[in-house]
Amino acid sequence: TASFDAEALRADFPALEQDVYEDTPLAYLDNAASSQKPTPVIERLDTFYREENSNVHRGVHRLSQDATESYEAARESVARFLNAPDPDQIVFTRGTTEGLNLVSSTFGRMVAEEGDEILLTEMEHHSNIVPWQMLAEQVGASIEVLPVTDRGELRMDLLPEMLTDDTALVAISHVSNTLGTINPMEDVIDAAHADGVPVVVDGAQSAPHMPVDVQALDADFFVFSGHKVFGPTGIGVLYGKRELLEAMPPYQGGGDMIDQVSFEESTYDGLPHKFEAGTPNIADAVGLGTAVEYIMDMDWNAVRAHEDDVLRYATEQVGGIEGTQIVGTAPDKTSVLSFVFDDIHPYDAGTVLDREGVAVRTGHHCTQPLLKRYGLPGTIRASFAAYNTHEDVDRLVDGLHKVRHMFG
Ligand code: PMP
């Protein structure tokens, strides 16, 4: 970890420097929910609104050309970030949730028929469950669920038998937001493709923590959110294979997504504009472009080593506190530590931690079926980013000792 200077990185993130209560500095450990923003992203938004703000694609005037250029440059940055073959295969969305709804209501409607099965896993976020349930209800398909082990790994041994002639698609998270498990995505995709089944990857928690190569993965679709990769809220990305995106009907109708419109009939624009009806979230797309450039400038071997070191340290320290139990102990994990106390409600713990300046999340983390699997009402979740340090973990541990003292 000597090659990675987390303290230097912290200086780029102004929100980390504040006191949240009197003389109580912030220890921000809620990165799986949303990460903080570095100065270059904040400044890029500022510059956009001060100097370039205008609508895109339609204007002949100077500002509109500047805004269009910046917006499309951001698309190119995102394409490089995912190693997508072509920026045309990058669709800007509102976030992971909208990406999944887009795919389910367009591609899903194309491939899922009555009697078909949609294969999910037990560790999915609600946003990778509910859109597929809505689709299943509409077309008369069923939802099938690949279970997880006690340690929080997928039951890969069951995958071959769960992929059947009726499987229309697989939708699966790359990294679990509750357990931190890194799923063996290439194996899942290879197995699905061997049966001719397309795979939708929820990359909300992998994009922030590992270099993603959609071509090496051979993912059919990959979605993520800007706000978890040091970018703005309200912007996200859908990547899709060209032939699939081209075959799909549009998601929403409106301006910017058309070729010709008459009252009898309309024809649609090509990729990616077919999927971007209306004025897009221009400024935040531009900010996301800066965020992924910022990430691509980091030394990822060093970042991974640092994040693994912080997770290992936190696991040891928190696991050593009397009455705690770690939830999610897969060997292949990143940046999430979920745990419970035997006898203290997660919400009580979270409230005490907050007064100590330690920001964690408590509850079901939008994964109710997973929590039910473990028989828990919720967990306390500390989630890390590259700017977190052992000192943040020490603050968490001190806070947890206070929790023990107050409630134990
Ligand atoms: N999937 C996973 C695995 C997530 O962690 C999240 C965010 N918690 C989402 C989907 C939804 O992302 P968003 O709320 O940004 O649309």
- pLDDT band per the 50, 70, 90 thresholds, residue 238: very high
The amino acid at 203: G
CA distance 403 to 393: 15
- Looking at the chain, the whole-number percentage of residues with pLDDT higher than 70 is 99
CA of 66 to the centre of ligand 1 (A): 31
pLDDT digits (tens, 9 = 90+) for 79-131: 999 999 999 999 999 999 999 999 999 999 999 999 999 999 999 999 999 99
Closest residue by CA, ligand 1 atom 14 = 97
Residue 1, pLDDT > 70, answer no
Closest residue by CA, ligand 1 atom 5 = 177
In testing the pocket of ligand 1, which one of 173, 176, 201, 205 has its CB within 8 Å of the most ligand atoms?
A: 205
Residue 57, pLDDT > 60, answer yes
Q: Which atom of ligand 1 has the smallest separation from the CA of 236?
A: 15
Read off the pLDDT of each residue in 177-196 and give the average, rounded to a whole number.
98
Read off the pLDDT of each residue in 249-266 and give the average, rounded to a whole number.
93
pLDDT of residue 396: 98
- pLDDT band per the 50, 70, 90 thresholds, residue 323: very high
CA of 368 to the centre of ligand 1 (A): 14
pLDDT digits (tens, 9 = 90+) for 292-313: 999 999 999 999 999 999 999 9
- pLDDT mean across residues, the chain: 97
- pLDDT band per the 50, 70, 90 thresholds, residue 200: very high
- pLDDT band per the 50, 70, 90 thresholds, residue 341: very high
Residue position matching structure tokens 């292949």? 332
Instruction: Identify whether 16 is a catalytic site residue.
Output: no
pLDDT of residue 281: 98
CA of 137 to the centre of ligand 1 (A): 23
Read off the pLDDT of each residue in 181-203 and give the average, rounded to a whole number.
98
Whether the model clears a pTM of 0.90, i.e. scores above it, the answer is: yes
CA distance 313 to 254: 51
Q: Which atom of ligand 1 has the smallest separation from the CA of 97?
A: 16
CA distance 199 to 189: 6
CA distance 201 to 305: 24
Closest residue by CA, ligand 1 atom 4 = 204
Closest residue by CA, ligand 1 atom 6 = 204
Q: Which of 20, 305, 366, 376 is catalytic?
A: 366
CA distance 11 to 13: 5
CA distance 153 to 176: 10
ipTM (interface pTM): 0.97
Please tell me the number of Cα atoms within 13 Å of 225 on its side-chain side: 21
pLDDT digits (tens, 9 = 90+) for 368-390: 999 999 999 999 999 999 999 99
Residues with CB under 6 A from ligand 1: 32-33, 95-97, 125, 127-128, 173, 177, 202, 204-205, 225, 366
Residue 183, pLDDT > 50, answer yes
